[in-house]
Chain A
Amino acid sequence: MPDWKKLVRERLSVLNLPPSAKNEVIAELAAHLEEIHEKVRQTCVTDAGAVELTLQEIDNWRVLARNIGRAKSEGDSMNHRTKSLLWLLVAVTWLGASLSVMLLQRTDRLYPDLILFYLPWLATLPLVCAGAAYLAQGADPINDRIKGLWLSVTVTWLGAILSLMVLDRADHPSLVLRRPIPVVFHLPWLATLILVGAAGAYLAQRADAPRKTRLVVATSPALLLGIVMLLLLPWRFAGGYRWALTFFAIDAENLAVVPSLALLFGALPFLRQRSANSFLLPKDDANASMGPTVLRE
């Protein structure tokens, strides 16, 4: 007969609980497995077979550790809603602070280059969100949400923004549409965005994110830039700029709409496949195993 406590301790090594609580869980689960093993042993010829049958009680130790961690820890710290509000508050504060600095320092100019000038700072936004989410998650920090969404968003965002900053400072081929106001599309950046979109969708796919999430991750740089521009819009009007809406439309086209199409194009190969798990349908679906497992006819 195996040492069940040792076995459970090894397999639940990722369980993030205070030592006393973890030891208690390990002792309880080990006792449960021991009883099942004894019961199975009465009908099973070999001990190895009995152990194998006993271990069928747990499909995925990592999921079990996550479910136990969640069940044990949430009551000790904050509830889900509080956590969500916390990271949202941090994200909004950071974005607000970034925009405030932009507005205070560059009140004489308000054009896409203003946005670009402060993009490195804004680029830290997803990192800050990831950090806040990490802290808010408490006992289960390295979870699918962080790995699948925040990490992917961060990589995608940084890839899009850094490539824009680098390419914006070099001579490169561009497409100019001669309309009442000429619109310039930076072709190398758009080409880079195809790769960035593909990378974002791929990372999200690796974390079993569903199709919608992969789509959001891949196009997140364009979405975030669009949000930034929307936030800047009232100030454009307040600044007395003529043609505010026209310039907004041009910026949106340049930095949000067309880039989102490039990102989407890159992401397409990774949007076809269905995800295996229920990522981002967190509580109910991830905890589906908490119900009785068999309903026999």
Chain B
Amino acid sequence: MAEFVMPALGADMNAGTLLQWLKQPGDVVSRGEIVAVVHTDKADVEVEVFTTGVIEELLVQPGTEVPVGTVLAMIRENGAPAGPAAPPQAAEEPAPPAAAAPTAADAARPHVIISPSARHLAEELGLDPASITGSGPGGRIQRKDVEVAAAARTPRVREPELRAEPAPKPEPVAEPKIAGPPAAAPTPAPTPPTSRPVVPSAADERSAAMRRAIAASMSRSKREIPHFYLGQTIDMSNAIAWLAQENQRRPVTERLLHGVLLVKAVALALREVPELNAVWDGDELVRRDDINVGVAISLRGGGLVAPCIHTTDQLSLDELMHSFRDLVSRARSWSLRSSEMSDPTITVTSLGERGVESVFGVIFPPQVAIVGFGNMVERPWISEGQVLACPVVSASLSADHRVTDGHRASAFLAAVDRLLQEPDEL
């Protein structure tokens, strides 16, 4: 049984509204055929299937908005027996749309190299193979990789596996109906599933959906945006000296990281080069008044998000620090707000903590620029004829050549540099 899911029809699409079914249960469909019309922020889109078979069941009613990845219909593939899909699921009611999830059956996704046994295990555990790193030849995912990925889930996620068996009478912590049955039921447990076992699968599906969103967005970026790249090495002596002094008088928990100086400098520099604080609206540049710097945050399970700190340029360093910590912790617990996801006007990415010295980012559409910072390292630095050991950071700018050019972009990096030389003004 194959799942027909709400596709990601654009880089920034998180959900879509099913407008109309063009097929009914029992209808034969073939790969490539249009079966539904979906409304997105941009347009009404005809959606095709990637499976040849017979529509078994429509799970979402017209007019319903559902997240990307939600199962819209079940399609019985040619040759597959009629009736309920996988035996473990047979006893369950049809999955409510919001809880159902895409699986490997989604033919639109890239082929993941995974051993059959590992695939089976991943399905049992509700892990998306696309989110697992393979250790075998050619990156093939093996059982142990799935086990590692499962173990890496948060304790909250692992708990239900431990709790499911001994509990003869599940505590009424939550109504089972809220989250619905897991997409791929774990090994049948003696007790009826509470809502808890759903957590891993939901989280992993989010992670998989995110990977797809990244793929779509980055592909679109490289397809549509004529990137150009500038790099500049910035002397951080003043900034670091000031920061050391500043931090000395602060309690440990209130200390600043040099990263907030970088983010603040970017925000202030944008005031001077406002065309970089903008989005590309199909055929023209739309400048944004608010400077909302997005910060790329990598997630432990793989993938990343780049939520913004609103009005970055107007916040004090303390406020920035708090916002940043808050953002990271909420990003990693999947509780970002939609405005944080939709409002960034530029993105800052830093791989410094990984030791990388320079990063040239891919612009996150519809933004028009991304700023990259590398690791802060000590390097010989010549100043007034003298060689000094200075902490330096490599700053880069990837910009959209449709909306700006090297001259203006240089001015931006120069402004960042200048601002960082006067840290007490930040």
Bound pair: A and B? no
Residues of B near any A CB (own CB < 8 A): none
Residues of A near any B CB (own CB < 8 A): none
